[in-house]
Structure 1
Amino acid sequence: MRKTVFQLIGMLSFVLLLQDVAAQKIQELPGKEGISFRGLSVVNDRLLWVSGNKGTVGRSTDGGKSFQWMTVKGHEKRDFRDIEAFDAVTAVILAVDSPGLILRTFDGGESWQEVYRDNRSGIFLDALHFRNKDEGMAVGDPIDGKILLLRTADGGRSWQPYPTAYPAPMEGEAFFAASGGNIVTLKKAETIFVSGGKQSRVFYAGQAFELPLKQGETSTGANAIALKHPNRKRGGRHWVVVGGDFAKDKERTGNICFTRDGGASWQQAAAPPQGYRSGISYVRGNQLIACGTSGVDWSRDGGRTWSLISPVGYHVVQKAKDGRAVYLAGGNGRIGKLIR
């Protein structure tokens, strides 16, 4: 009798899992053909901004039903890999490659003010993140033998080098500008960020620890990190990191790891996502969504097991800062919304 009860419980759990996965769908929204979007900032359920190459920025105030498209004047050939928006008129964008640039708008994208420039050879900014409307951080590839970290305390109006020392970068270690998801700023000036390339590590509290992800090539390693409770001390205890090998985007080996003890130990998924993943976000409770060039996956158990919900590729996924909506953005102007 005991065995029969356990079997019934197992069957019921499996049926519930299938129903949960089947309930998740990605609705494609009006995008902009020919543009690669890697920057995404979801302010609330109806307001989102995206940024991409060819100097392109887009804003929707109706939940993605329509977008206002703009090309940043004087920067028509730049690739804006990340964006942070605060409301319908204020946003900050980051441009990769040289010169390193951060721009800010206060009028809905009608004009953009240059708030940071770095003309050094080899400069490459990767991502930025704000903990509130004033305080934010940006990370860039190592330069002059040091990790590039920038800090703002005035809403992105000005940026300064971050003085706290982290371990020196290892040979072949860098930070991917894949989704803006490899850095998270926390309370009390704490920051967590992840690296990739020939070495893949997580940096926090002035230290760095190796991640159990695929590494060793320039295309491997961590791309993004999600924290279940980012407002708690050191981001709580539940973190999930995704990556893999973007040159082999359907390989499942070494593309995800997670910790349940604040980074003290790491585990790999029992059933990993269906390939390389560049973006990840907590949705609700232990539910997560991850995306990459080979599709979108769903987890209902904190990252231990994953199921493919769409074979369509996206670069970045983000839940609304104030709300429940989840949006995605990717190549060839693709923008999507999670339906559940």
Structure 2
Amino acid sequence: MRRLGSTRGGGRTGRLTAAVACGAALAALTVPAAEARPLAQGGPAKASPGRAGVHWAVKDTGTPQIRFRGLAAVDRRTAWLAGTGGTVLRTTDGGTHWRNVSPPGASDLEFRDVTAFDARRAVVLAIGEGEASRVYRTDDGGATWTESFRNTDPKGFYDCLAFFDRRHGLALGDPVDGKFRILSTADGGRSWRVLPSDGMPPALDGEAGFAASGQCLVPAGPKDVWLATGGGAHARVLHSADRGLTWTAADTPIPAGDPAKGVFALAFRDRTHGIAVGGDYRPGRPSPASTAVTGDGGRTWRPAAAPPPAYRSGAAWLPHSRTAALAVGPTGTDLTTDGGRSWRTLDTGSYDTVACTPDLSCWAAGEQGRAARLER
């Protein structure tokens, strides 16, 4: 849809204990926005630690000219970034070093999403009208890439992708002939096919997806997946329980009715509990109802009682937590510890996307080549 300024301890008991401690530390460091230290504008990003020492530790990517809206966090050591100028970076040492593993000849493409299965296997999505929308896959850490899909429909525009497991995945395309278009793969992104549109509800006038953070299409479990929309009269979330064959739509309380407004990202911790974030992405515009929550798998949505203070483009549940999640955007990072009902600002630095991993690590990425890992 929108380019947004240019053409994702040992043993269960130990993990849960660590998650509770992590959530408690995050809550303890929450400070009023006026006390948070903003990241430097127009220059390298700087860390903004809180009182308890938990903070975004910025990892120098050496690419200040790139904006990374695609993020795949594998664990606390391995992460992939996808951004402008056809750029793909990979780290395997926690962000100390980043290797440029961009596909050859992709410098004119806009990479907006990446899914990584491990340190060697990843799938990236380029967005844009017509043939600008493409999918690439690597099996050797980015040493070589195979183009596995190129959109040949001039009306097509793909926004984001998501995988249920290492083989089955989907990609979301903006409406063509009045319905959202869904790509499907059953071989890990090596080949794709357009799914039938019979089970897709009609799109609203002006409705589309936002290629803002790689989180406009998110799965939970082996078959459930949700997609986020904006630009229409209502900001909606559509749900499929059969890997994209049939869908149902639900309105959210997030503002819509304008091409710049809607739901930009989703995060589901299971098949029932989810968070939607968004608002108005234009700088300086108010977003008084930028988050919503669901407890019934997306059938109904409620506004947050105390939402973040501005538009947010990415969200992620903290590892192994039932109540704690992060939301990020150009003006800051916010934390909820009550399942999305209320949010408090942690940091005022600019990030577009955020992801957390089972080994209790969280990563974020954004403009000016910014990448960071949550540390304490």
Question: Structure 2: how far apart are the matches of 1:148 and 1:262?
Answer: 22
Tell me the residue number matched to 1:227: 268
- Which digits, 9 at most, give the CA deviation of each residue in 1:115-135, with x for residues without a partner? 011122132110001111111
Counterpart mapping for 1:1-340 below 5 A:
19-21=28-30, 22-23=51-52, 24-31=54-61, 32-97=63-128, 98-99=130-131, 100-163=133-196, 165-198=199-232, 199-205=234-240, 206-229=247-270, 235=271, 237-248=272-283, 251-283=286-318, 284-320=321-357, 322-340=358-376
- SS of corresponding position for 1:308: strand
Q: How far did 1:333 drift? A: 0.4
> Which stretch shifts more, 51-60 or 101-110?
101-110
Residues 79-103 of structure 1, C-alpha deviations (whole Å, 9 max, x = no match): 1100011112111110001312101
Percent identical residues:
37
Deviations 1:124-152 (A, max 9, x none): 11000111111111101112222110111
Question: What is the DSSP-based 3-state SS (H/G/I as helix, E as strand, rest coil) of the residue aligned with 1:54?
Answer: helix
Indicate if the aligned counterparts of 1:81 and 1:126 stay in contact, CA closer than 8 A.
yes
1:250–1:294 CA contact under 8 A, matched in 2: no
CA spacing shift, 1:83–1:16, aligned 2, 3 Å? closer
- Displacement after TM superposition at 1:162 (Å): 2.1
| Alpha-carbon distance in structure 2 between the residues aligned to 1:116 and 1:16 | 43
Unaligned runs of 5+ in 2: 1-23, 31-50, 241-246
Deviations 1:281-335 (A, max 9, x none): 0002311100001111111111111111111110000012x42100000011011
Aligned-residue CA RMSD in angstroms? Answer: 1.8
* Partner Cα separation in structure 2 for residue 102 and residue 122 of structure 1: 17
Measured after TM superposition, the shift of residue 250 of structure 1 is 6.0
In structure 2, the partner of 1:12 is none
- Distance (whole Å) between structure 2 residues aligned to residue 254 and residue 209 of structure 1: 17
TM-score (norm 1): 0.89
Deviation (angstroms), 1:16: 9.3
Q: CA deviation at 1:42?
A: 0.7
Greater shift after overlay, 255-264 or 122-131?
255-264
* 1:242-293 superposed Cα distances (whole Å, 9 cap, x missing partner): 0000014562412111012323332211211121000000002311100001
Moved over 4 A (4+): 15-18
8 Å CA contact 1:137, 1:185 repeated in 2? no
62-71 vs 48-57, which deviates more? 62-71
TM-score by length of 2: 0.81
1:285 is matched by which residue type in structure 2?
Answer: R
Question: In structure 1, how many angstroms separate the alpha carbons of the residues matched to 2:159 and 2:100?
Answer: 23
Could you tell me how far 1:339 is from its partner in structure 2? 2.3
Q: Which has the higher contact order (CA 8 A, sep 6+)?
A: 2
What CA distance in whole angstroms lies between the structure 1 residues aligned with 2:280 and 2:90?
31
The verdict on how the C-alpha distance between 1:60 and 1:252 changes in structure 2, with shifts beyond 3 A counting, is same
Note if contact 1:213-1:221 (Cα within 8 Å) is conserved in structure 2. yes
Query: How many residue pairs end up in the alignment?
Result: 319
What code does the residue aligned with 1:243 have? G
**Contact 1:104–1:156 (CA under 8 A) maintained in structure 2:** yes
Alignment check: 8 A CA contact 1:136 1:185 kept? no
Partner AA of 2:103 in structure 1: V
Structure 1 Cα separation of the partners of residues 236 and 256 of structure 2: 10
List alignment gaps of at least 5 residues for structure 1. 1-14, 230-234
Q: CA 1:25–1:162 in 2, change beyond 3 Å: closer, same or farther?
A: same
